[in-house]
Amino acid sequence: MGGLRLRLDKDVLKCEYCGMPLTEHNVYTREIGGKTHYFCCEHCADAYEAKSR
Ligand SMILES: [Zn+2]
């Protein structure tokens, strides 16, 4: 729903799994446990989700 609202000029966003810096072009978001998490790719989102279970 809606577009991504990222304040990339203020916040340095990193993949929450591997730590890769994210830009508006490579960011992958997933809602896990009711919160939005940011990753570099689907693979990292899957790995993070599996780890947090
Ligand atoms: Zn990653």
State the distance from the centre of ligand 1 to the C-alpha of 1, rounded, in angstroms.
23
Alpha helices by DSSP H, the chain: 42-51
- Where b means 16+ CB within 10 Å and e means fewer, 31-53 reads eeeeeebbbbeeebbeebeeeee
State the distance from the centre of ligand 1 to the C-alpha of 2, rounded, in angstroms.
23
Nearest to residue 13, comparing CAs of 21, 1, 25, 2?
A: 21
Over its length of 53 residues, how does the chain's per-residue pLDDT go in tens digits?
455 665 555 567 899 999 999 998 889 999 999 999 999 999 999 999 999 87
* Domain locations in the chain as residue ranges: 11-53
State the distance from the centre of ligand 1 to the C-alpha of 15, rounded, in angstroms.
5
pLDDT attached to residue 34: 94
Tokens coding 22? 């994210």
